[in-house]
């Protein structure tokens, strides 16, 4: 039930622990004084949103969250502002996020991954039905409730990927679709010497060392961004299905498919995905899992989900007996 009894303000809430920080501000637990209900309060600095040109974007997303009524999307209960900040009172999910779960477990089993991928499909489908493209889905904004079910949050409200810090990428410059000898963490455009190929375990340890720092940086990480978004071409809802493929890869392998030490190198690998998408033998993925990931991390024209979420739902149900509540479908 939405909080709509009277005009709300920050004084209506007892402020508790800070549970997250971003480029625009912070997220903290809060308790509504009259009811004792606990929520997550996002406190976004207006001057920072203005500086980044994100005011209209945030307003549109706030309206979307208020409009969408889905069990797969974190609920927005109310919003208000003062001279300095915009406040969003959100549903609080005590189970943490997928990023933390992956840091704790390293990898998931294929049945676990398919369960969470299935729930992510439902969340993405629910925003697509409202003609909204997320563009930056990643483990950080896949939140878990007390029962372990997943909900999608953070529709660009915490930090957008600052693509302006990267030079313009082009398919011709970076050899997309060409038969180029694969490299790991560097390419012909890098000034760094070629690094020896890491084992899966070495790459996993390196990723874990940098993961939380990347999550809370003010720039963000490009690891889950679709190539058509990085290329600044026209893009549609299909870009969110690419992100799903990158997340599923990380769930099963332990790190994203195009991870590099430098964000620019990651971008180049994504744009040149034909050369760089590889499945380490040590991960022992099933042929079915590799096939599903490969059909998400591919050209837009061939990408699963391009004709609707039902394509991916059918693939998940065919691959496993994992239980996904049919009421959601």
CA 135 – CA 156 distance, rounded (Å): 9
Helix residue ranges per DSSP H, the chain:
46-51, 55-67, 98-105, 110-128, 171-174, 200-215, 227-230, 238-253, 263-271, 273-276, 287-296, 310-319
Q: Are 271 and 174 within 8 A, CB to CB?
A: yes
CA-wise closest residue to 291 among 107, 109, 110: 110
Active-site residue 136, yes or no? Answer: yes
Among residues 12, 97, 136, 223, the one annotated as catalytic is 136
Q: Are 55 and 81 within 8 A, CB to CB?
A: no
In DSSP terms, which residues pair with 42 in a beta bridge? 27, 88
7 is in an annotated binding site: no
Q: How many residues does the chain have?
A: 329
CA 119 – CA 95 distance, rounded (Å): 15
CA-wise closest residue to 3 among 94, 130, 88, 127: 88
Annotated binding site for ATP: 42
Catalytic residue ranges: 136
């Amino acid at each position: 039930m939405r909080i709509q009894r009277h005009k709300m303000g920050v004084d209506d809430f007892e402020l508790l622990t800070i549970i997250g920080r971003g480029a625009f501000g912070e997220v903290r637990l809060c308790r509504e004084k009259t009811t004792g209900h606990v929520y997550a309060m996002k406190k976004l600095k207006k001057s920072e949103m203005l500086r980044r040109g994100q005011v209209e974007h945030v307003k549109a997303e706030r309206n979307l969250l208020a409009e969408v009524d889905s069990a797969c999307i974190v609920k927005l209960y109310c919003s208000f502002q003062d001279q300095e900040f915009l406040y969003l009172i959100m549903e609080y999910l005590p189970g943490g996020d997928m990023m933390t779960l992956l840091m704790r477990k390293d990898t998931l089993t294929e049945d676990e991954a398919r369960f969470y991928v299935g729930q992510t499909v439902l969340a993405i489908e629910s925003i697509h039905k409202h003609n909204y493209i997320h563009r930056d889905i990643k483990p950080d904004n896949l939140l878990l409730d007390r029962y372990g079910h997943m909900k999608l949050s953070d529709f660009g409200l915490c930090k957008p990927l600052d693509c302006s810090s990267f030079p313009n990428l082009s398919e011709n410059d970076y050899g997309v679709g060409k038969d180029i000898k694969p490299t790991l963490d560097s390419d012909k455009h890098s000034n760094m010497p070629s690094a020896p190929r890491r084992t899966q375990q070495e790459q996993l340890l390196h990723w874990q060392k940098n993961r939380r720092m990347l999550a809370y940086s003010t720039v963000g990480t490009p690891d889950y961004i679709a190539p058509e978004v990085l290329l600044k071409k026209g893009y549609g809802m299909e870009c969110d299905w690419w992100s799903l493929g990158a997340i599923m890869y990380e769930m099963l392998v332990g790190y994203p498919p195009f991870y590099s030490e430098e964000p620019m190198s990651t971008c180049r690998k994504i744009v040149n995905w034909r050369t760089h998408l590889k499945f380490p033998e040590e991960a022992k993925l099933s042929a079915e899992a590799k096939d599903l990931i490969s059909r998400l991390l591919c050209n837009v024209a061939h990408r699963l989900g391009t004709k609707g979420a039902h394509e991916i739902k059918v693939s998940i149900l065919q691959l496993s007996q994992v239980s996904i509540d049919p009421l959601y479908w």
